[in-house]
Amino acid sequence: MSSILVLSGSPSATSRTAALAEHLADRLRREGHRVRTVRVRDLPAQALLTGDARNPEIAEVIDALAKADGVVVASPVYKAAYSGVLKTLLDLLPQFALADKVVLPVVTGGSPAHVLALDYALRPVLSSLGAHHIVPGWFVLDRHIEPTEVGDVLLAPESAEPLYGVVDGFSVALAALHARRSLVEAS
């Protein structure tokens, strides 16, 4: 199956966004994908803030991204945009780091007013990084994400059903990308 990198862009140690990102990673693993999650907050702050893409931990994430077929980008909404910690990593990526990739953006926020951050803040940046295909993303209200004691989350039904539909669409897009690559290699 496909290789997927999940970028969790929350700066918080106890984050509903991070818990949701890991929940989605687990769902994708159950579908047979190879999935790795990177919490951007755990990367070296000095390297992120000074734009040091040669830092070994940063370089390793950039390499993992280059090898991935798909990328899930998850972020809470702050000030009508994705998180600053996520921006520090995205700014370090090569110009076309998302070329030939399928990308799923997922944002969380405290109010439905934050939904516009998905299409007006995050999607343009992902597109500028050359994403092959950005599937319809999804916005999840914070109050619809309930972390459990065992490290998973319970999602409110009004968010779970449409979110899982978007994640399933991401898997379908990855399968189509894999099929196209196989046809090119066979010819």
Q: Give the residue from 157, 133, 128, 118 showing the smallest Cα distance to 17.
A: 118
Instruction: Work out the pLDDT band at 109, boundaries 50, 70, 90.
Output: very high
The Cβ of residue 116 has, within 10 Å, a number of other Cβ atoms equal to: 15
For the segment 88-105, the average pLDDT, to the nearest whole number, is 97
Beta bridge mates, 7: 38, 73
| DSSP code of residue 27 | H
Q: What is the CATH number of the domain that holds 166?
A: 3.40.50.360
User: Are 126 and 98 spatial neighbours (Cβ–Cβ below 8 Å)?
Assistant: yes
Residue 86 parent element (H or E)? helix 84-92
In this prediction, residue 4 carries a pLDDT of 98
List, for residues 150-177, the tens digit of each pLDDT value: 878 999 999 999 999 999 999 999 999 9
pLDDT of 122 reads 97
Is the pLDDT at 95 greater than 80, yes or no?
Answer: yes
Q: Residue 113's pLDDT is what? A: 92
Mean pLDDT over the full length of the chain: 95
CB 106 within 8 A of CB 20: yes
Residue 186 has pLDDT above 90, yes or no: no
Burial (0-12, 13-18, 19+ Cβ within 10 Å), 52: middle
Q: Which domain holds residue 55?
A: 3-186
pLDDT at site 164: 97
Q: Strand pairing partners for 39?
A: 8
pLDDT tens digits for range 35-92: 999 999 999 999 999 999 999 999 999 999 999 999 999 999 999 999 999 999 999 9
Total domain count, the chain: 1
